[in-house]
Structure 1
Amino acid sequence: MQEVQSPTVFHLALPNHGQTLTDDQFQALRQRGFSVCVFDDFAPLSDALERRDATNRGWPGLLCLTGTLNGLTALTMRLRMSYPRLGILLLSDWSESALLQALQSGADSLLPISATPELLGCYAYSMFRRQLPVTMVANKRPTDLWRLEQNGWALCSPAGKRFSLTSAERSFFDCLLRHPERQATHAQLLQAIDERGCLAPDNTPASQHSYSMAEVNRLGVLVSRLRRKFERDATDLPIRSIHNWGYMFSAECEIGSQRQQ
């Protein structure tokens, strides 16, 4: 068997369960630059994981398991104890209760066995992006800051890369960076990018207005587009989502000549 190399997706189908990834699903993974290693038994998979764990300090890899849920959860608990950093994705019959069972067993997620190749490929890439090791920089120089320039129409990275902003993106960053700790709620950010400068009908301040899930999703789309814009130039945008609350900018930044810490 060939030696696995990063980034790698491992696949094991539980025997006698009649479920496995399709050729199109495998191809979607390969098209995104992953090496795919397929196993038909647990023993050689375990050997490959042991070799990888001993020699690889990069991405820990993603393991896709297919089969019936009860068999998969038992195997997942065993694997999670031995390989705490390994990404584990189960593909089986999907329901909310099945997803809960999968997460409780130690899996990262559960997709339906009928998941489209595009969905599987996007999930694998998302795991790869989130699990890459972070390089810590000691004694960061005071000049290694992000800067909001040109009256808010451009964001400059510490490496000197300058990104032009749309009007909505400009309003988003201006709101986020001017709030304490560079954190703002969904409502505050939505108010900032809303062209109407909306207030609730009873003149309740917009910061207290209850926005719909569709409006919060609209904000999420804006953030996703921002991340892709910066990723295209090999730059990690330090925007972090605060679950069910808002967003934060997790790096120091200057607004013009004003430093935000």
Structure 2
Amino acid sequence: MTAGQDDEHGKAPLTAGKELQGLRVWVVEDDPELLALGVEDLRWRGAEVLGLASAEALYRALAVGQCDIVVLDVGLPGEDGYAVAQHLRRSADIGIVMLTGRGSTHEMAHGLSLGADVYLVKPLDGDLLAAALASLRRRLRPAAPTVPVAHLAAPPASGQWQLQADGWNLGAPNGAVLALTSAERGFVRALLATPGQPVEREALIAAVTDQPWDFDPHRLEVLVHRLRARVRNGMGMTLPVRALRGAGYLWMREAA
């Protein structure tokens, strides 16, 4: 039974299920009808949902925002779901649920090997998807270790940008602290190791993935755009990173 349908006694549910309350889910599906139905059902269950029709639309959204879990159709136009899952696993710490009509053991093993956390076969029951999302939320690793609240109230002693909690938190001169994903951690650590000096794209890619030979350079741009937005929105500051045409990126030194 989907949201809004009558039950077997002819009565509609009185209240929406809220088992996914607060969970940010992005659904990538090229079939408009299936996308609309999926988005509606997940919203009814309390999730914050964004519907996207292609891998390109997903990458654009990731450049300016973030989610907790991506529900990804395998049969997308252009870049298929397998390739997308592989890119996401290397560039972002988010949950990945793959949906497909191809339910063979080989297909499922292939999707899981490329980075999917859950592999579900269509036609899909809404209750099953909701249960999978709720289970995945419980299993997702926290973005980063937290630091005591007392440490967040005052600016760093140096008054400079710095990494904290073994590099999992970025501290700003104004005292704000941002939890980093593993890819962001590698990127920032590489730049802060030589502030004021350019770091080549190849070196940065090697810092954010353990398979740099198979990493799409466009993912690095997505990571930088997303990190800029997170720093601006979450810390109230501008990330002091400059892109250098043909030479990578550099971390700009603070004024003396």
Q: Same fold (TM over 0.5)?
A: no
**How would you bin the TM-score normalised by the shorter chain?**
0.3 to 0.5
**TM-score using structure 1 length:** 0.41
TM-score by length of 2: 0.41
